[in-house]
Structure 1
Amino acid sequence: MKILYYILCIAVLTNIMSCKKYVQVEDPKDQLVSSSIFVNDATATAAMVGIYSDMNAFNYQFANVITTFMCAMSADEFTYASTLANFDEFKNNAVTPGNSYVGIMWSQPYGFIYRANAVIEGATASNTLSSGVKNQLLGEARFVRAFCHFYLINFFGDVPLILNTDVLKNTNLPRTASKDVYAAVIADLVEAKKLLVAAYPGGAERTRPNKTAASLLLARAYLYTGNNALAEQEANEVISSSGYSLLNNPDVTNAANMTKAFLKNSSEAVWQLQVVNTANGRNTWEGNTIVPTAAPFYRLTRGALGLESGFEPGDKRFSNWVGSYTTTAFPPVTYYYPFKYKVRVGIAGSAPTEYAMVLRFAEAYLIRAEARAQQGNFAGAKADLDIIRSRAGLAPLVTASSLTVAMAQVEQERRVELFAEWGHRWFDLKRWKSTSGAAGKTRADDVLSQTKTGWKSTAILFPIPSEAMRTNPNMVQNPGYN
């Protein structure tokens, strides 16, 4: 595996200026992971928050643009106005093991997992940390480990499960069955919920996970593994938590406040990554990359089956979260692009106004709606979807008469609510069974085969990167890539 480089070379404590954006600590110089880091609360906390800082320090990384963009292109959300070999592979669902982006999607999560394991081991062994900080760090580290394993499963299927810092052993681990990795993800999140508190640590900003973040990710993990009763239960906890709400004006036909959903510390934010690199007035990497200055490079998919046509008439998500650019050519052409983040560059030297959204409150309603539908509670599913629709200025749904109808309603709302966010659409198409009833087929087969030439069912998993195959003799490639 290509984690050896990260294990040997990455210090847990990153540049202190980045860490201070998350919590004020004294500079621990250039120490590597060691027991001395976990002697006092400040340096131990820096070990944890340094992970979040590195997640968002540079563009086109696992924890910002790559996951959202590559998954959106692999699905049916947006494309781009050029020919780029690495991008083309995702757009055409023909990713090769040597693709540099798929390499990042593998190696960076494992790097963060290693660092989370180092925090777990160091904090557990320490007898000098205050109990509150110790529990907080153990909870956050388990959350990060679960988060990264969750994404690795959904990118690649069976993946090595890494639960310690034993470099020599972990480098040659075989792939672990997805069901067992999911079990570890769920166990980590259950424990994280016990250790974390409702208040966000380090101040009022929502940039370090709290109990609600663990509950929301746990609800998602339960939903993905078919445990719908527990998914509903966890979603209930999130929805009933104080401090969260869908941004809306009292008049539901006026959804102007939706434009504020992605501001830093908005009431919809359950977990965000704070801006680290603010050069030239930059806010989020997502906004800096996708908001155009002329004709947009990234564009919603077109045609009857494209996302551009996927919104109902009057849906305020289209008017608030989709931008447009009309050319001066004759006849003019209008292109649409994701516009959830509004800031390409702000005023140099001014504080950022937007943070990268990782977990958002609206997902809890969508999880509960799907879980309820799967349990036959179609009226309950409709009630949750109607809350999302009401904020978007849309009329209530008709109560579904069957699971097929209910799931079609869920799919529509998830598609237009969560577009261009952390691969939701791609993961949904892969995890849902085909409506045709064909054995072994998924919704990806139903949907993507209609618009993508050469679509193959094996494309629902990305290939194991070449470097992982080369360095780990026990690694086995995914079907369709040999």
Structure 2
Amino acid sequence: MKRYIFLLFIGLSALSCKKLIETGDPKNQLTTDKVFADSTSATAALGNLYAQFERGFEPNLTPNIGLYTDELNVTSTGTNESEFLQSRLSVTNSTNLGLWQVLCAVIYGCNDLLEKTKSSPEFPVSKVTQLTSEARFLRAYAYFYLVNLYGRVPLLLSTNAKSNRQAAQNDQTEVFQQINTDLQAAKQGLTEVYLGPGKTRANKWAAGAMLARVYLNQKNWAAAEDEASQVIGSGLYLPLDAAADVFKSGSKESILQFWTQQGFISSSANLLPASDTSLPAYPITDALYTSFEAADVRKSNWTGTSIVTTAGVSETYHYSAKYKNKEAGSGSPEYLMALRLSEQYLIRAEARAWLGRLPEAKQDLNVIRHRAGLLNTTAGNQQELLEAIARERRVELFNEWGARFIDLKRTGTINAVLGSYKNTWKPTAAWFPIPQSEINYNNKLIQNLGYN
């Protein structure tokens, strides 16, 4: 099983959207005919798609999107990091290309799995339903980030080279409609039961939690409130863990985590310094650090401090420490958190605030505040409550899957916040550039404004 996953990861991680629209099967050491010959190998292929988020996408997204916004600084910059820090990406930025490529590789793999499993006579109906539901969940998860980073993107739902070769971009509304369709189908096809180790494969509530996130992004308050309520009401993820235990592999509030073979996430190598006297590569900003209230236990549990002495002069740096492990052998293994219950409370709080249900919104917000060791919110009206929820999202979800960037965009505050934070910010930076290599291949692609 591990060999299947390794070979597939090597092959698929090299794909770009150019390859997605250019070829049929990915060229790797294990052909797709063999991959989908039985349910065991098909499940291994599915496992590879999950693995690409933990190994290929998130480790590049988290530090760089933190630089791009107001969450992280960097202590040693190359060209790519400098462009993210200034929020001025070039169309040839290799990290940006890598983000695009991994998402497209996942989408290709999901399309391939959907096509092959449905057409295979070797698969029982129950197995087809399970595999295709998870594939649709992962395709929606990938498209959510593709559309939030790049805006208008090609909506590719097959591996047919002829039909995809000159695919034009779709409006964001169309992409979100497909995301909703995929997640609704996944939710219907999946059960509450988790397969595999821990909570590392999507179940019914993972699809519901992702739907709640997507509906919030679309400002569909009623639907976001309903989906979040169903997840919370399932009772599977309560009580909330203590702050120190949230990101461990056995976290009660985790709805979906990406499995890690060594017990530590790939991002840790970048975010955690070698010791508390070593210089962090990506220290958190003063703006983020000072946004925590004094009594907030998240500040003491989810951030670390390094005191670095150079030539007799000491300087203090703070860094993200939600995850503690950076090498194998820990007695408390950590998996990469993808979806968790605290976010669902904050989604429901915001949706209820917009719906005018202020007492219920406050109650949800206070659940998160109490876990953080804080008193009830003092917000008195709708606007104050929405601002309080936004502040809570910032300190609860910092350095998690670009939540800060997505939140600033969906609330329409990105230009005001980042424009006042960095003098290099331009309104067109709300969208990343489509990699030039993709445009060179497909002349139907139109570059985002500000990058020509």
TM (norm. structure 2) is 0.91
How many residue pairs get matched? 434
Contact 1:38 1:129 in 2 (8 A): no
Contact 1:223 1:371 in 2 (8 A): yes
Contact 2:129 2:189 in 1 (8 A): yes
| Separation in 1, partners of 2:18, 2:332 | 35
Partner SS state of residue 98, structure 1: coil
| Separation in 2, partners of 1:421, 1:188 | 23
2:341 aligns with one of 342, 361, 365? 361
| Separation in 1, partners of 2:209, 2:326 | 29
Q: What corresponds to 1:284 in structure 2?
A: 265
Aligned pairs for 1:309-458 within 5 A = 309-328=290-309, 332-347=314-329, 353-402=333-382, 404-433=383-412, 443-458=413-428
Q: Which has the higher helix share?
A: 2
- Compute the displacement of 1:163 (Å): 0.7
Runs of 4+ more than 4 Å apart: 6-14
- Compute the displacement of 1:32 (Å): 1.7
1:217 aligns with one of 210, 226, 249? 210
| Separation in 2, partners of 1:456, 1:246 | 43
User: Which AA in structure 2 matches 1:65?
Assistant: P
Q: What corresponds to 1:169 in structure 2?
A: 163
Q: What corresponds to 2:63 in structure 1?
A: 69
Task: Describe the superposition over 1:340-394 as per-residue Cα deviations: whole angstroms up to 9, x where unpaired.
Answer: 00012243xx677111111122110011011111111121111111000000000
Are residues 466 and 90 of structure 1, via their aligned partners in 2, closer, same or farther at CA, if it must alter by over 3 Å? same
Q: Does 2:219 align with 1:226? A: yes
Task: Describe the superposition over 1:121-159 as per-residue Cα deviations: whole angstroms up to 9, x where unpaired.
Answer: 112223331222111101100001101111000000011
- Compute the displacement of 1:40 (Å): 2.9
User: Which AA in structure 2 matches 1:287?
Assistant: S
Contact 1:463 1:477 in 2 (8 A): yes
- Compute the displacement of 1:96 (Å): 0.8
Contact 2:63 2:282 in 1 (8 A): no
Q: What corresponds to 1:252 in structure 2?
A: none
2:199 aligns with one of 203, 206, 220? 206
Partner SS state of residue 226, structure 1: coil
| Separation in 1, partners of 2:86, 2:379 | 37
Root-mean-square deviation (CA, aligned residues, Å) is 2.1
| Separation in 2, partners of 1:159, 1:246 | 39
Partner SS state of residue 311, structure 1: coil
Task: Describe the superposition over 1:253-294 as per-residue Cα deviations: whole angstroms up to 9, x where unpaired.
Answer: xxxx31111111311221111114x3xxx7211222211011
- Compute the displacement of 1:2 (Å): 3.8
Q: What corresponds to 2:4 in structure 1?
A: none
User: Which AA in structure 2 matches 1:53?
Assistant: A
Partner SS state of residue 285, structure 1: coil
Q: Does 2:249 align with 1:264? A: yes
Partner SS state of residue 337, structure 2: strand
Contact 2:136 2:183 in 1 (8 A): yes
| Separation in 2, partners of 1:80, 1:50 | 31
Indicate the larger mover: 354-363 or 471-480. 354-363
Contact 2:91 2:434 in 1 (8 A): yes
| Separation in 2, partners of 1:139, 1:400 | 43
Contact 1:142 1:189 in 2 (8 A): yes
- In the alignment, structure 1 segments of 5+ residues that lack a partner are 15-29, 249-256, 434-442
1:192 aligns with one of 186, 196, 206? 186
- Compute the displacement of 1:166 (Å): 1.0
Contact 1:74 1:90 in 2 (8 A): yes
Contact 1:146 1:188 in 2 (8 A): yes
Contact 1:12 1:48 in 2 (8 A): no
TM (norm. structure 1) is 0.86
Q: What corresponds to 2:31 in structure 1?
A: 32
Contact 2:418 2:425 in 1 (8 A): yes
| Separation in 2, partners of 1:13, 1:230 | 41
Contact 1:275 1:352 in 2 (8 A): no
Are residues 328 and 44 of structure 1, via their aligned partners in 2, closer, same or farther at CA, if it must alter by over 3 Å? closer
- In the alignment, structure 2 segments of 5+ residues that lack a partner are 1-14
Q: What corresponds to 1:25 in structure 2?
A: none
Contact 1:316 1:393 in 2 (8 A): yes
| Separation in 2, partners of 1:186, 1:400 | 34
Q: Does 2:440 align with 1:464? A: no
Task: Describe the superposition over 1:271-319 as per-residue Cα deviations: whole angstroms up to 9, x where unpaired.
Answer: 111114x3xxx721122221101121111112xxx10111011111101
User: Which AA in structure 1 matches 2:351?
Assistant: A
Contact 1:272 1:356 in 2 (8 A): yes
Q: Does 2:430 align with 1:475? A: no
Contact 2:63 2:271 in 1 (8 A): no
User: Which AA in structure 1 matches 2:285?
Assistant: T
| Separation in 2, partners of 1:260, 1:193 | 28
| Separation in 1, partners of 2:16, 2:193 | 36
Partner SS state of residue 292, structure 2: coil
Q: Does 2:127 align with 1:133? A: yes
- Compute the displacement of 1:481 (Å): 0.6
User: Which AA in structure 2 matches 1:412?
Assistant: R
Are residues 133 and 12 of structure 1, via their aligned partners in 2, closer, same or farther at CA, if it must alter by over 3 Å? farther
Q: What corresponds to 2:139 in structure 1?
A: 145
Partner SS state of residue 51, structure 1: helix
